[in-house]
Amino acid sequence: MAAPGDAPTPLLQLGPLRPLPGRPLAVPDPAAVSRQKDVYLKMLDEQLRQGVIVLDQQVKYQKDYLEVQCEQQKKHFLLQLDQQRRSQEMALGQQYNEQLMSLQMQAGAQKAAVEQQAMQLAMEYEQRKAEEEMYRQQHEIQQQQRGLAVKLVTVPRPDLAVSFRRPALAASPPMYSAWPSGSHIRW
């Protein structure tokens, strides 16, 4: 190819015109010009065909290169996306585990508090039940003691009974008390 700025080379190159010996200045005949033109046109068509083939190959090579580059960039990008997804999944997994542990600890603490409260309430219940049983027993004992006291007062005791006899000579009967002097019933 010619460099820019060079003068175009003529397609048909005719040598300098020189007169033939004994003849005047010769001019090529039209048939020779037509043959030479046909040869040059065929040569130009072949060059064009070859140029198109080379250009097609270059374009195909460049397209193939771009496709390979694009596929590599896609793979690289997809790999980066996959790594980013995995990293985020790991972070989510770690966050899940931390939150799960926190929930389990809270649930355990609440369960322990409920167990403690239930145990305390059960102990209070047992204590109150024991107190009530003790009060009930004391009340029964007091009732029994009152019943015995009433029986003691109302039932005559033979060991304390005094016989009242009239003496044959009696002016006035002596006064006797059912209770010996100085004795008292104590409750």
What's at 72, amino acid-wise?
A: Q
pLDDT digits (tens, 9 = 90+) for 122-150: 999 999 999 999 999 999 999 999 888 88
Residue 93 has pLDDT above 70, yes or no: yes
| Furthest CA-CA distance within the chain | 229
Beta strands in the chain (DSSP E): none
For residues 109 and 20, the model is more confident at 109
pLDDT digits (tens, 9 = 90+) for 20-49: 556 555 677 888 889 999 999 999 999 999
Q: Where are the alpha helices (DSSP H) in the chain?
A: 30-154
Distance CA 187, CA 178 (A): 19
What are the φ/ψ torsions at residue 19 (nearest 5 degrees)?
Answer: -70, 140
